[in-house]
Structure 1
Amino acid sequence: MHDVSAVLLAAGESTRMGRQKALLPWRGTTLLDYQVSGLLEAGVSKIVTVLGYRAETLRSSLQGIPGVVTVLNLRYRTGKVSSIRAGLRQVSSESTAILVISVDQPRSALLIRRTIQAHNEQGVLITYPVYGDRGGHPIIFSATLLPEMVRIRESRYGLREVVERHRKRALRLEIGDPDVLLDLNRPDDYQRAISHSVPAR
């Protein structure tokens, strides 16, 4: 029985974007709602959504959704690692795998499901999609790595250190879709993405 929990990072101030990313329109909804819906549709059993900046605004949009919990990271200004660690502390003890993704990395339910399925079938420690020779997201970790994951530090490149340490037991899942690399950091990233976006999940 596979039980996947997700840590969805949505705590940042979005300073480079100039607007709160979680609330940006995306395929008929917001980035936050799109990510949550996609994760649930893909079979994720629990989503730990890490909030920080304007947390109450985002929390209200998530209330009452089965399988979704929120955690407040008061130290979100110190960097993404603090949010990852805050989310990992709330992961279900019954989880067999942990998926980590940011709210500004929108992924379809189909892509997420395919990555989860490959991870479960291959029996590896880490799985992530690649396009060409570039690694993308989401990244899925075996829950056996949780003790290592909660010890990550910003100064040691966060989760990349864990991925590198276990690269021989990591699956680079070839995906013929550049969306696995999508990362909406700046306004031009967002405008370019929505101009190429299609309605299908």
Structure 2
Amino acid sequence: MLLAAGAGRRMGRPKALVELAGEPLIVRALRTLAEGGATPVVVVLGARADDVRALLPAGVSAVEAPDWHEGMGASLRAGLAALDGSGSGFGTDAVVVHLVDLPGVPAAAVVRLAAVAGRDVLARAAYGGRPGHPVLLGRAHWPGVRKAAVGDAGARGYLAGRQDVVLVECGDLADPDDVDTPEQLAAFRERRRRS
């Protein structure tokens, strides 16, 4: 699942529509999930949903979070509801939740995280031992995550302090920094140019 509903106020436009090397971040993030073996892929839309939807490749399911302006929690609730809905046809035991503003996270991180998937599993990519994204949520946890997902914290409240969250080290694979502002995007571009 890709969360891509925000307005990107600090960026000046929805981050899903921001381009990096001529490619919208939404396309880059969806490719990361697909190449990482995450299927089916569901993207949660909100701000400028029609503009973002026009960029989606075939085979990607889109769901709109009507209360997207409340923050990431609303997007996560909407995405889990779509995956959990009766007759949805998704039938998955776990979901990898990725964010549109993490262009430095490659498919290899998704593969590594998905390797621990299971109905009762909670896992997070870690960078030098520090928890980050993407996050893997086993289906058994979806009701609790949906209840706890408020504001801009997403699953953070549900995961906080739990001893059963598996940390999957991805620091050797990824740049975990998000790009919330034009300055952060420019810094990311510069790091990529130098590497």
SS at match of 1:154: coil
SS of structure 2 residue aligned to 1:98: strand
Residue by residue, what CA displacement relative to the aligned partner does 1:106-129 show, whole Å, maximum 9, x if unpaired? 221111111111x13x98621112
What is the Cα deviation at residue 176 of structure 1? Answer: 2.9
> Which residue in the other structure is 1:4 paired with?
none
Partner residue of 1:162 out of 158, 173, 179: 158
Change (3 A) 1:187 1:156: closer
Deviations 1:145-171 (A, max 9, x none): 111122124269441122125x22211
1:115 has 2:109 as partner? no
1:174 aligns with 2:172: no
Q: Report the Cα offset of residue 39 of structure 1.
A: 0.6
Distance, in Å, in 2 between the alignment partners of 1:53 and 1:20 is 7
Task: Find 1:73's aligned residue among 42, 65, 83.
Answer: 65
Letter in 2 for 1:17: M
Q: Which residue is equivalent to 2:100?
A: 103
Out of 181, 184, 190, the residue aligned to residue 189 of structure 1 is: 184
TM-score (norm 1): 0.83
Asked whether the equivalents of residues 97 and 134 of structure 2 are also in contact (C-alpha less than 8 Å), the reply is yes
Aligned identity (percent) is: 29
Distance 1:94 1:27, change over 3 A: same
Please point out which of 76, 88, 93 is paired with 1:84. 76
SS for the counterpart of 1:137 is strand
How far apart, CA to CA, are the structure 2 residues paired with 1:170 and 1:27? 35
**2:25 aligned residue:** 31
* Distance in 2 between residues matched to 1:145 and 1:123, nearest whole Å: 8
Q: What is the distance in 2 between the residues matched to 1:177 and 1:52? A: 33
User: Aligned partners of 1:189, 1:43: CA distance in 2, in Å?
Assistant: 28
The structural deviation recorded for 1:30 is 1.5
Aligned length: 188
Give the Cα–Cα distance (whole angstroms) in 1 for the partners of residues 21 and 124 of structure 2: 24
Give CA-to-partner distance per residue, 1:89-113, whole Å, 9 cap, x none: 1115511111112111222111111
Which runs of no fewer than 5 residues in structure 1 stay unpaired?
1-6
Question: Residue type of the partner of 2:74?
Answer: S
Which is helix-richer, 1 or 2? 1
Measured in 2, the distance between the counterparts of 1:156 and 1:176 equals: 24
The unaligned stretches of length 5 or more in structure 2 are 84-88
Pair 48,72 (structure 1): closer, same or farther in 2 beyond 3 Å? same
State the distance in 1 between where 2:32 and 2:135 align. 15
Query: Residue 14 of structure 1 corresponds to which residue in structure 2?
Result: 8
TM-score (norm 2): 0.86
Q: CA RMSD in A?
A: 2.4
2:148 counterpart SS class = coil
Alignment of 1:144-163 (within 5 A): 144-154=140-150, 157-163=153-159
Query: Relative to 1, partners in 2 of residues 1:15 and 1:157: Cα closer, same or farther, differing over 3 Å?
Result: closer
Residue identity in the other structure for 1:82: A
